[in-house]
Structures are given as structure tokens and as C-alpha cells.
Amino acid sequence: MAVLDQYHLSGAWNFRDVGALRTDDGREIRPGVLYRSSELCALDADGQSNLRDLAITDVIDLRSQTEIAWNEPGRVVMPVLFEAAIEHAYSRFPLLPTGQHALAYTIRVVAEASGGVLIHCAAGKDRAGWIVAALLRAAGVCGSDILADYLRSNESVEPLRRHVLARNGDLSQLSDKTLGVHDDFIAASWRAVDEQYGTFDAYLSQIGVDETMVAALRRRLLS
């Protein structure tokens, strides 16, 4: 599989094909089926052309309506959480109706898509990071590969810092941990799911993702 640079969609960052991750039974996520990135609103002509070339048929935008409405030159909703609140946010998101609907909807879209699906939020690391991780877990991807893909967002700390500084002025005190991701964050979300629902499979069932939908997801994603 050709490795695409995180700036392949120029004007965005933190982009990648989520292909080639392994499942516990030795299969792999097929390339060209699932992508993730930061927001796409600033794609230049090359970025738009590259997006078309990927044959993506569905784009899932996890930003709020407020973020979308405010996203114009000179205005930005802060695309990161401050460090003290990050782990709490990760433990809450899977339990909130908005997070549960986002995951169930994303799984259905990916399972039924005729082409590639791209998932993004603002920075492409927290909401998109958790939704992609949960989707991969539903597909049977091994935990180490899920974590490795999640942590790749740390390669995008500097472009995110530049983006925030350009829009908001001097925010140089933002730490790499605030601008990046950490295994403690995703672990907090899995722990919250287990404490509330007992198992991840029970969680999926509760949010409306049944065994038939999981099977369809795996047929679509796996080699």
C-alpha cells in the first residue's frame, strides 16, 4: 500500500489511509476504504483534486454546527481541549447521545458505502480519533494496531500548533500533550464503556449496532 503524506490533502493535515491494520484473526483493513483527517474547509486546488482522486463517496464531519458556522477567515473555535479536561472528555463522549449516534451512524455509513469514507473533525485527533478507534474495534482490529493508528496524530502536533497560532495569536504555551493524543485518553474511553455496559459488544448493541451491522462492516473493511 502506498503511504500517503499527512498533507496529501493540501490545506488539511493529519490525513491518512487507515488501511493495512491487522485483526485478531490475521486479516487486514483494505486500503482505500477508510480515511481520516483534520477539517477540510481550507483545501486548496491540489487538495481538492487529490480528494477527488481518492474516489471518496462519503465524508463524515464530526464538528458541531457552531464550529462549522464560525469557520471563516479570522475566526476559529478552539480545536483542542485543555489538558486537564481531555481525559474527562474521552470518558464522557462514548456515553453521550451525540457520541453514540455519531458512532452508530458512522458504522452504518462505512458498512453501506460504495466507495471510500473519510472521517474528520476539527483537528482530526479527538472526536475523529475515538470514532475511528471504536469503529476499528467493532471490525475486530487488534488493540495494538488501533492504538498505533490513534497515536499517529502526534505526528500532527506542529501543523495543529501553526493552525491555532495563525487564528488565535500567541498560544505557544499549549503543550504537546494538549495538542496531541495519549494512550491514557483512549484508555479512559474504553474504561468508561466497560464500567457502564460491561463489554464493548454490549455497548454496540445498546447504541443500535447489531450483529448484522457488525458483520456488514467487517465485510466492507476487511481483506
Give catalytic residues, as residue numbers.
Answer: 121
* Other beta carbons within 10 Å of 155: 13
Q: How many CA atoms lie within 13 A of 139 on its CB side?
A: 35
CA–CA distance, 218 with 223 (Å, rounded to integer): 9
